[in-house]
Amino acid sequence: MDMRKYVLRQTGIVGLGEAIGVAAMIGIFALLGAYDSRVLLGGLVGGAVAVANFLVMAIGVNLAADKAEQQDVKGGQATVKGSYMLRMIGMAVVLFAFAKSGLCNVIALVIPLIFVRFTLTLQEFFRRKPGEKTQ
């Protein structure tokens, strides 16, 4: 599979996991009687930041792998380090700005960041093994 298609497919899976996770989180806030529009906006922003972070990370790793294939290992390492720094700074700025604005529930803003790891772990658990046939 073409790496671009693979990155987009994985990003789509992460996006779906984020959507399900944010919906479940909002449902829990509602059950606890703590739901308001700030929870919704926090969940949406947090989920969007998490998906964007994953996409930029995947693209950065892909670029680094391309450089490594071309025998530019130091260039690949620099790409990964630079991508990491830019992603962390970008996430911090966006999350801090929304948290300080008062438009978002801070807890609902941060919780979606953990859904990426949970989604990827769940996907790996259900992934078919090579050579397995579906019934």
Taking 80 as the threshold, does the pLDDT of residue 92 lie above it?
yes
Grade residue 78 by pLDDT with cuts at 50, 70 and 90.
confident
Inside any domain, residue 83:
yes
Q: Which domain holds residue 62?
A: 3-121
Grade residue 134 by pLDDT with cuts at 50, 70 and 90.
low
Q: Contact 109/95 with Cβ under 8 angstroms?
A: yes
- Give per-residue pLDDT as tens, 37-63: 999 999 999 999 999 999 999 998 888
**Which H/E stretch holds residue 123?**
helix 115-126
Averaged pLDDT of the chain: 91
Inside any domain, residue 99:
yes
Inside any domain, residue 132:
no
- φ, ψ of residue 79 to 5 degrees: the values are -65, -45
Q: What are the distances in angstroms from CA 81 to CA 53, 87, 98? A: 14, 10, 26
Q: Which amino acid is at 125?
A: F
Inside any domain, residue 126:
no
Inside any domain, residue 134:
no
Taking 80 as the threshold, does the pLDDT of residue 34 lie above it?
yes
Inside any domain, residue 127:
no
Name the one residue in this structure whose structure tokens are 């078919």.
128
- Give per-residue pLDDT as tens, 118-127: 999 999 888 8
How many domains does the chain contain in total? 1
The more confident residue out of 118 and 78 is 118
Inside any domain, residue 61:
yes
Inside any domain, residue 82:
yes
